[in-house]
Structure 1
Amino acid sequence: MEATAVTKYVRMSPFKAREVMRHVNGKAYNDAIELVTLADQKAAGIIKKTLESAKANAENKGADISSLYVKLGVIGEGPTMKRFKPKARGSAGRINKRTSHVKIILSDEK
């Protein structure tokens, strides 16, 4: 049985978040939670929150909690906020503030 959780419009770069998600994909649920708890990146906290939400969804569906593993973890790119910062000689430099969508699928069947 599969359970899904999605966190949308998170204010972090998808490139930096994918770095953490690569370590989580394919791991058992308990190992994945342990890994993101010890990680220092901002993305680890968001991924942990999404993992816990997916586990709660799995419990509600009646899945076997002891055998859960991360079947798929995807960091998608959300909308980019475009800002400008003043630069030398009256010009403006563009700043992209990126957002991410985090999707995690937990499964209890291999």
Structure 2
Amino acid sequence: MLITAEQKNTRQSPRKVRLVVNVVRKVPLEQALKQLAVMEKRASLVVTKVIRQAIANAWHNHHIAFGDLTLKNITVNAGPVYKRWQAVSRGRAHSIYKRTSHIKVVLETKAADTPVAVKPAVSDTAVSKQPGPAIAPKKTAKNKPKQSTVTSQTQRAK
């Protein structure tokens, strides 16, 4: 079962948040939370918050305990960009882009809850021909040669 949590429009650039997310992407969930707690990046607070939100969603919505969860995926996408300007010399202005990001965390349960559907084996004896009405072969029309509609130039001239 997949459990998701998402934080949108976080006022931090996606590039800086991805630096934090790449550290904990392939790590067990408990160890990821420990690493984020000691990391000295501002994005680690936001990522920790979203992971804890996903854990709370798992417990509140599906009654799945923390020990039964694994970190499947964390994605960081770019959000809207706020465009500002700053005055510089000679009456000019330079643009400033205040980037935002969307952080999505996907957790899954450790044990597979859904059994795999198995097709029953079909033996040759089970598929025997049943007596029934005989099917006649289709009758096809014989191909007749088509008459040419194009006339020669001598006939057109007349």
Output the CA distance in 2 between the equivalents of 1:35 and 1:2.
23
Output the CA distance in 1 between the equivalents of 2:43 and 2:72.
19
Residue identity opposite 2:91 in structure 1: G
1:78 match: secondary structure: strand
* 1:68 and 2:63 are equivalent in the alignment: no
Output the CA distance in 2 between the equivalents of 1:27 and 1:55.
16
Output the CA distance in 1 between the equivalents of 2:13 and 2:28.
26
Output the CA distance in 2 between the equivalents of 1:23 and 1:67.
22
Residues 26/62 of structure 1: CA separation in 2 closer, same or farther (3 Å cut): farther
Output the CA distance in 2 between the equivalents of 1:76 and 1:70.
18
> Segments of 4+ in structure 1 off by > 4 A?
none
Alpha-carbon shift at residue 44 of structure 1 (Å): 0.2
Alpha-carbon shift at residue 75 of structure 1 (Å): 0.6
Output the CA distance in 2 between the equivalents of 1:39 and 1:2.
27
Residue identity opposite 2:74 in structure 1: G
Greater per-residue helix proportion: 1
In structure 2, list runs of 5 or more residues that go unmatched.
112-158
Corresponding residue for residue 3 of structure 2: 3
Residue identity opposite 2:101 in structure 1: S
Corresponding residue for residue 98 of structure 1: 99
Output the CA distance in 2 between the equivalents of 1:19 and 1:9.
18
* 1:54 and 2:54 are equivalent in the alignment: yes
Greater per-residue strand proportion: 1
Equivalent residues of 1:28, 1:68 under 8 A apart: no
Corresponding residue for residue 143 of structure 2: none
TM-score, normalised with respect to structure 2: 0.66
Residue identity opposite 2:54 in structure 1: A
Corresponding residue for residue 136 of structure 2: none
Corresponding residue for residue 77 of structure 1: 78
Corresponding residue for residue 31 of structure 1: 31
Deviations for 1:6-29, whole angstroms, at most 9, x for unmatched residues? 000110010000010011112211
